[in-house]
Structures are given as C-alpha cells and as structure tokens.
Amino acid sequence: MTPELTIQLDTLWTAFMRAGVSPLDTVEQITLVLVDRSHRPSAPATPELHAMVVDLLDSAPLQNSTVQTEVYDRLVGKLATSAQSGQNGPALTPSHIMRLMVDLVAPTPDDTIIDPTVGTGGMLVAAAEYLRDRRLEFSNHAGSSDGSNGTVLAGVASHALLNRIATTNLRLHGVRNVAVSTGDPLGEERGKSTTGFGTFSVVLANSAFTGSRDSVAAAKDLLTVVKTKKTELLFLVHSLRLLRDGGRAAVILPDSALFGTSKAHTDVRRLLVEDHKLDAVVRLPPGVFRPNSALSTSILLFRKAEATEDVWFYDVRADGFSLDDNRARIENDDLPDLVARWLSLRNTAGAESAVNEPARPRTSQSFLVPRSEIAKQGYDLTFNRYRIVLGERLVHRSANDILVDIARLELRIQQGSSALARALAETL
C-alpha cells in the first residue's frame, strides 16, 4: 500500500470517528463498499462519509485484490488502536502470534478447524494461508488453488456485526470454504453457534480477554464440569468438547488460569493433564498484546487423547518486536527456535535438525516436566514453577590460604608498630 493511500485511509478513519461511528461499524461500511461499489452504507454512516469512501476507492488502485487485502488489514489494525483508546474495538491477536499458533498445530487439508472466538477472522485466515503456502506438499489433495478446499473452517462471532467483518476479511484473503456463525459459544443455546461437538480436529482460540460472566448464564454441560464465572476456564472446557478424539488445540490463556488456586482452576488443569494430553505450555512475553494490554499470557497445546506423559515448557523472551507500546520490529526473535524445537520434539516432517529436548536442563529456555511432578505441584502450569535459576557461583579459598594471609597481616602490623615506636623515641 502506497504512503498516499495510507494517508487517505487514515484521514477517512478519523472522519468516521469524529462523526461518532463505532470502529466496528467503520470497518464494515468501508469494506462493504470496497467489495461492492454499489453498496450504500446503513446508519449510522452518513451520505458525506459514503462519498468520502467512494472518492478514496475511485482514486486508489483498489481493483487489485492485494491492495484490497492491505487496506482491510490496516482497518483491522485500527481496531486494535481503538481498543486501547476505549472506543469499543475488539482485543486482537497479533498476526505473528496467530501464525505461530498455526505453525504449532500444523493443519493439513484433512483437518476441520474452528475458532470459537473468531473476532475478525485472523486465526482462520492464518490457517488457510498456511495450507496455501504449502500446497506442493499436499499435491495428492484435489483442492482449489488456495490449497484449502478440503479443509472445513468454522468460526463463532459474538454478534452479527463482527460476523460480517470476519466474513469479509476471509473473503478478501481468498478463503471460501468457511462458515462463521453468530452466537454465544458458552451459552445454553449453542445450536446456532457451533456445528457440533466432537467434530473438529483443530481448535485455535484466544480466550485471554473474554473476562467473566454470570455462571448461571453458561451452558449446563459446561458447569457440570467446572462451576465458575471465569470464561477462560469455560472456553478451555468448551475447546475439549469441540475436539474429536485425537484432535489438537492451541489456545491462549491468561497466566492466572495456569496458577490460580481456586477449586475451579485446579479442577480444569487436572482435567487437562490427567484425562487428556497436555503437550506444551508456551510462555509469551508480557508485552505481546501491547498497546492493548500488558496481560501475561501463555499458549497451551493439547490433544483430546490419553493422559499426559511429559509437558514441554518454552519461555518466549523475544517475539521479534519491542515489548513497549510501540511494538517496533527488532532483531531478537525466539519464535523460529520455538517452532524448530517443537517440530523436532514432535518428530514432524519439516524440522530442520534433531534437538535433544529431553536432555535439556531446567536452567534452559525450554525443558520437559513429567506429569507426576506437575500433579505434586497442584497442576501449576507456569514456566517459573519448574525452572531452576542458578545463583552466582562463589569460589571459596582454602582455610590454610586464609591463615597465611592473616599471619602476613599480623607481621606487617607488628613491623609498622615497631617503626612507629622507634620514630617516637628519636623525637624525645
């Protein structure tokens, strides 16, 4: 996208904000005209704002699908800024973190993928692009040119407007085989918000910013597993319900869910470790969601399978961006190392080199912890619970050397005292 187009788009966004149009409505109105020039904005947009949109489209090379996608991506980025400024924009997952989660679950054309917290659809876009980029590896699959024809993509939006925005985002990114429904995935009436429990092979979700809710409003089948108002715990149970046997998930959770001492926290973690297979806990840097939030979060990788054996812990100290509000690109980036080690640990095709993770000490950036130890720690899943921090090594001198030094000091003191006594005697 050219600098001129960026300025035009930013000016248009400011005009919508000054007119009192919500960030979500702004994204919808601009993109609907972007997709269909004949579209006329509905309230609360005004004819003047619509004219500004049309002028922008007429003066920019937006017939190019790549430019359309870049425009939409910038608009979605504006939503993140609006969330920080309190303008009711949704909390968004950074695109490189979404790509990381997709890399870790490594979807295939045979997978059925759902994001129960779909937001603007970015997680599903990342999954589709993962397949698209690897279409040569799936040459035996008779799919479309984007490599995703055999993959069922599904998402659940919290309200109709967000559904339309997510659908538009997916459409502009060339994703066709997707169904985004609207509803409360944790509520009692979930018929319209899911396509069935136990039917998905992959769950991708960010449930770190879902907050709390009145427990009586949650579905009874969830409350029978864990009675809580913490939606991150309910979403974790819900993710397990969505997975079919052998299915896998990558879910972002606030770190409080990993160490909380309430019965609900402990019960959910015990369920995950003892009744299913928790594969990994990836600790993210505290600033990864800035400027929107400084919340500490982790990615849990788990499968609907038999009980856990060992859990792999990895501490991401740098994600390629500064951890302040600017989030400027920097050289330090642990994500490639994380993915390489994970692929090697999982013996997945594509791992560049074998890494002996079981031999890594607890002082390292990554290590394995047996299930039995996690159980003894009350199913605490925080990285620092199992990390060993070595103090500065002190080298102590032998007692004999110390005694020799003391004797030398005493001799010097005696010599000095004698010299002082002689000097005083000479002056008398």
Q: Look-up: residue for tokens 């993770």?
A: 357
pLDDT band at 301 (very low <50, low <70, confident <90, very high): very high
Tokens standing for residue 208: 């770190």
Check residue 53 and give its pLDDT: 75
What pTM was computed for the model?
0.79
Task: Please state, rounded to an integer, the average pLDDT across all residues of the chain.
Answer: 81
Domain 95-386 part of CATH 3.40.50.150: yes
The enclosing H or E element of 367 equals strand 366-370
Q: What is the DSSP letter of 299?
A: E
- Please, are residues 338 and 314 in contact by the beta-carbon 8 Å criterion? yes
The enclosing H or E element of 246 equals strand 243-254
Which residue did the predictor score with more confidence, 348 or 101? 101
**For the chain, what percent of residues have pLDDT higher than 90?**
34
Check residue 140 and give its pLDDT: 33
**Domain spans, the chain:** 3-84, 95-386
**For the chain, what percent of residues have pLDDT higher than 70?**
80
The enclosing H or E element of 32 equals helix 23-35
Q: What is the DSSP letter of 187?
A: B
Residue 291 in this model has a pLDDT that exceeds 80: no
Region 200-208 average pLDDT: 91
Check residue 312 and give its pLDDT: 96
Which residue did the predictor score with more confidence, 265 or 208? 265
Check residue 115 and give its pLDDT: 94
Q: Look-up: residue for tokens 């597993």?
A: 225
Residue 138 in this model has a pLDDT that exceeds 80: no
